[in-house]
Structure 1
Amino acid sequence: MFSLNNYSGLVFCLLYFVLICLLRAEPLAKVSQGLVQGTILKSRNGRNISGFIGIPYGQPPIRKLRFSSPLPAKKWDGIHLANKDGIMCPQPIEGTVIGNEDCLVLNVFTTRMKFNISTTESANLDYYGPLYLMDQDIVLVTINYRLGLLGFLSTGDSVAPGNFGLKDQVLALKWVQKNIQVFGGDKNRVTLFGESAGGASVTYHALSNSSRGLFHQYIIHSGNALVPWGYRDRSLFKKDVNYIARHIRCPTNKSQDLIDCFRKTDFHKLVNLTTYNVLDFPEILWIPTNEVESEDSFLTDSPQNLINKNKIRDYPFISGTVFDEGLYVTCPFYANSTSQTKLNVLGRCVNGTSNRFFKPEDLSNFNKAIQSYYFNGSVSSMNEVKLLKMFTKFAGDSQFIFPNWILLEKMAKIAKSPIYSYLFDYHGQTSYAEIDYDIKNNIGVNHADELLYIFSGVYSPLASRNDNYIIDLMVDLWTSFAINGKPSSEHLAIIDLWEPYQRSKSFLQIGNISNNTDPSVTLRQDYFTDRMNFWKENFPLLKL
């Protein structure tokens, strides 16, 4: 800040400011709230990117706005600096709560803004960097939204109906509709893209009236609204909300009193009581739910009912999984564990999964069928190698692969828009098994491994010829779909190899199913056929 006593000083400071701006050539944009100043990045192949990192789209969800629907960010005076990464919504990581509640921000990356380049800077985009995707002519927007208890707590009534994280996403999509043309984007050509919980979120937007008109096609990776960890009825939240209340000494008789108390509690205490262990994956507590009817509700019925009633919007979409999704659960055992630990956690995983597929009185039938099909009727008699292999298949099939397949089967019968399916089975120089657990040997293609070839970051130090080919291919396919609704790539022998799923139930196999270090790409039809038939016949999720 400057304290100026005369106009000559003011002119000097203004001239100095202009010179600095011209020297640094930082991009400037005017959005609905005011001016934002970004930074300049270089794409993987050297394109200049205007990066606007940390633009507020919602007011901080604190005090009365905690456990409430988000409100649009207020206007600001002057220039908002949008050039540094690092804002995260609160979440527990290895026993420590990281992030801050003032986190409703989004990032915009574009190559369509004109400015004079004299120098470049780099932002700290550790996880989902834009440097691969921005080699193509798209505008990329990534968003933060409330997570866990802060994003999905529900009192089962109108006091705190839940789905706040999904409502954050809706607000961000509305911001895109209002502002994206400033960055060279087309508000009538918006493609949603999410992986895992993000994939489930994307499907919810295809079901919710709140998102109508805000996007036009979508891509879902390894997760949709049918996954057993993706939905809980609002009646099931009470015991978990009361558990939190007892530990922080909040009243539980009336929802309003309880939420008023929660709003006064430091968020670290709340989040600390919801520590998540990957081995409890099927029983995630703070997730989307059905709300009571209101003008503000995002979802008022289960996704299963809505999809069965053909309420999902008929938009073009891509949906797929990786080959070894279940490694998300079993990686810790490949890293270090005893046989008894494996047996105990397997039981927890099976029971937790069954709770989401069946009513309590039917759980024994679920357990018997799973034991028979995957474990030859006896887990204890299996050797460790076989046990882990089948444990991985069970976890992957139940948590990701079957929900993906059953939605594709349903949509193939009712959708007029083209839908595309893929299976990713390429293992490159690194994987999340190595990153998260330091597992050096190739145990398979883990949950989220495909993101290493779409988003740049410190967790994707890829350099081999095969890795670079997969990056080029994935970026081509995903961005061509976003641009014109048809995934294609000049890196394929047949540019338009990937055909719609409705045509012949075909999916794009990325990586060789017999050798996952081979980056070959084929069109196939056998998507775990025997395993999918087992689930469809024994535990149907949808009416086909």
Structure 2
Amino acid sequence: MVWFHGGGWLGGSGAGYPAEIPTSLHNVVMVTVNYRLGNLGFLPTRDFDAPGNFGLLDMIKALEWVRGNIRNFGGDPDRVTIFGESAGGWAVSLLVMSPMATGLFHRAISQSGVAGVPVTQRGDLTQTESLALSVNCSTAFYDDMMSCLRGLPTEDVSTLMIPTVVIDRRFLLQSPWDLMNHKFINRVDYLLGTNNDEFGFYLSSEYPYIDADGMTRAEFETYLPYDLQQIADQYLGGNVDTILQPVMDEYLDPGMADDPIYLRDQYLQLLMDAWFTAPTVMMAKAESGMPAIAWEAPRSRVYQYELQHSASVFSFRPPYVGVDHGDDLFLVFGIPLLRDEKGSYWKYSFTQEERDLSLDMMAYWVNFATNGDPNDSTGAARMRNMVDWPRFTSSSQDYLQLDVTSSADVRLRESRMKFWNEEVPRLMGMHVHNHRARAGFNAGTHGAPRSLSVLAFMLVMFYLLA
């Protein structure tokens, strides 16, 4: 299992995620990697062989290293699962979409992040020129601008800018939305999900206009365009103004429009739905809708979840906060099971129910990585009786509510998901496909031959780009 850390593609490190608990309980090898971040990892250029996406290409190299070397560490190069949270979840989904990653992994897990990220076409230097101007580099001539930027100390080019993915025709053939919409992705088993209050505390702390007292209608309308810009930037040429009123109509009851608590709660709900839940559901539908073809592997197995339990150790947060962004990390990495250095007492004050939930989540994750099914404990070193996790299909849309007592449900916030995944794209001028899926890049989860239609398409693309 190869872990890609979160941090908005601006910060973080693989070293910050201890894997000693899941690896001690299960027969699994875990690899954590670093990748270039910020402008060094994602700044677009005009160079043909390096137009951007550097951090993502680092991940490709890491997976190539795993394929060539993991046997020396007891791993199986024919059963590689990539997983990540937040920006790491974005990265996992982009690898599922990339022809360059075909065959480098066999299963994928995205936690609180699927590629609803800003995109740009290869050669669009808007962001690069903005950085150059901020550090007094001339933008009149490309070579001079790049020479100036390359000559600066690292700290001078570390200005925080929203990372963007480049449609470079190599790592990424189309925008992530288009690839999901057309179901033109790698065929892999996929487990993915979100928490039930992604903007509850951690992320909303960056928004000074959101607090325990709520927010005013003026604040709601003032800041909404800025916070929806990332949604508009998923669509090339997308205009945020076209969705402002429809979003307010979707989320605001006119009778509650002056209630500051209601406004705050709806604001945080719409951001969570737009940034996290809707892209996750769209990807689940895309992967589960991949057709079964005679000479290819069976349909991809897809499993969706929403984490419902807010751990007791987070009592410092306001009472209105549910399961916040990042809460799943403590459970997946077994933090509730850590003991002190002598092993005489629990290191943190999680409840026994929360320790059991952590055991369940680790087992689900490793079962899925091992067998493609979170319920299949074949080969597991330790087993617990767990609630059956139903498989997600485009028709049923089953998912698991992960909790101290988990339960199955269907069609997570269905009307809101249709709004973000169908109505908003149409407002952006996109054509939403609801027909039978295309074959995708990867014909099977274990390196089976690619479908002939996709092979022909790829040959044409590489011929045109040569």
Deviation of the 1:485 alpha carbon = 1.5
Q: Which has the higher contact order (CA 8 A, sep 6+)?
A: 2
Which of these residues, 211, 231, 247, is aligned with residue 353 of structure 1?
231
What aligned pairs does 1:273-312 form with structure 2 within 5 A after superposition? 273-274=159-160, 284=162, 286-291=163-168, 293=169, 297-312=170-185
Question: Within 1, Cα distance between the matches of 2:108 and 2:173?
Answer: 22
What aligned pairs does 1:17-416 form with structure 2 within 5 A after superposition? 127-134=16-23, 135-158=25-48, 160-225=50-115, 227=116, 229-234=117-122, 236=124, 238-271=125-158, 273-274=159-160, 284=162, 286-291=163-168, 293=169, 297-327=170-200, 329-331=203-205, 332=207, 333-334=210-211, 339=216, 341=219, 343-357=221-235, 359=237, 363-376=240-253, 381-415=257-291, 416=299
Deviation of the 1:471 alpha carbon = 0.6
Question: Within 1, Cα distance between the matches of 2:65 and 2:7?
Answer: 19
2:120 is paired with a residue whose SS is coil
1:218 is paired with a residue whose SS is strand
Deviation of the 1:353 alpha carbon = 3.1
Amino acid in structure 1 at the alignment position of 2:361: M
Deviation of the 1:270 alpha carbon = 0.7
Amino acid in structure 1 at the alignment position of 2:22: L
Q: 1:376-408 CA deviation, whole Å, 9 max, x = no partner?
A: 3598x3211101110111101111111111222
2:138 is paired with a residue whose SS is coil
Deviation of the 1:456 alpha carbon = 5.1
Q: 1:344 to 1:309 in 2, by over 3 A?
A: closer
Contact persistence 1:90–1:146 (CA under 8 A): no
**TM-score, normalised via structure 1 length:** 0.66
Q: Which runs of 5+ in 1 are unaligned?
A: 1-86, 94-98, 107-124, 277-283, 512-518
Contact persistence 1:371–1:377 (CA under 8 A): no
Amino acid in structure 2 at the alignment position of 1:474: M
Q: 1:254 to 1:462 in 2, by over 3 A?
A: farther
In the other structure, the counterpart of 2:442 is none
Q: 1:277-298 CA deviation, whole Å, 9 max, x = no partner?
A: xxxxxxx2x222112x5xxx42
Q: 1:425-461 CA deviation, whole Å, 9 max, x = no partner?
A: 1111234xx7xxx525351111221111012569993
1:421 is paired with a residue whose SS is strand
Q: 1:357 to 1:212 in 2, by over 3 A?
A: closer
Amino acid in structure 1 at the alignment position of 2:283: L
Q: Which runs of 5+ in 2 are unaligned?
A: 292-298, 339-346, 378-382, 435-466
In the other structure, the counterpart of 1:26 is none
Question: Within 1, Cα distance between the matches of 2:191 and 2:58?
Answer: 23
1:132 is paired with a residue whose SS is helix
Deviation of the 1:197 alpha carbon = 1.4
Question: Within 1, Cα distance between the matches of 2:334 and 2:74?
Answer: 22
Which of these residues, 392, 397, 408, is aligned with residue 501 of structure 1?
392
Question: Within 2, Cα distance between the matches of 1:89 and 1:195?
Answer: 9
Q: 1:129 to 1:290 in 2, by over 3 A?
A: same
Question: Within 1, Cα distance between the matches of 2:303 and 2:405?
Answer: 18
Amino acid in structure 1 at the alignment position of 2:17: Y
Contact persistence 2:392–2:399 (CA under 8 A): yes
Deviation of the 1:232 alpha carbon = 3.2
In the other structure, the counterpart of 1:430 is 313
Question: Within 1, Cα distance between the matches of 2:62 and 2:228?
Answer: 37
- Whether 2:344 is the aligned partner of 1:471: answer no
Question: Within 1, Cα distance between the matches of 2:229 and 2:190?
Answer: 33
In the other structure, the counterpart of 1:419 is 302
The count of residues paired between Structure 1 and Structure 2 equals 396
Larger radius of gyration: 1
Deviation of the 1:533 alpha carbon = 2.8
Question: Within 2, Cα distance between the matches of 1:90 and 1:345?
Answer: 20
Question: Within 2, Cα distance between the matches of 1:177 and 1:244?
Answer: 37
Deviation of the 1:303 alpha carbon = 2.2
Question: Within 2, Cα distance between the matches of 1:302 and 1:152?
Answer: 15
Amino acid in structure 2 at the alignment position of 1:171: K
Question: Within 1, Cα distance between the matches of 2:265 and 2:95?
Answer: 35
Identical aligned pairs, as a percentage?
27
1:305 is paired with a residue whose SS is helix
**TM-score, normalised via structure 2 length:** 0.76
Question: Within 1, Cα distance between the matches of 2:8 and 2:307?
Answer: 31
- Whether 2:346 is the aligned partner of 1:453: answer no
Q: 1:365 to 1:270 in 2, by over 3 A?
A: closer
In the other structure, the counterpart of 2:412 is 527
2:61 is paired with a residue whose SS is helix
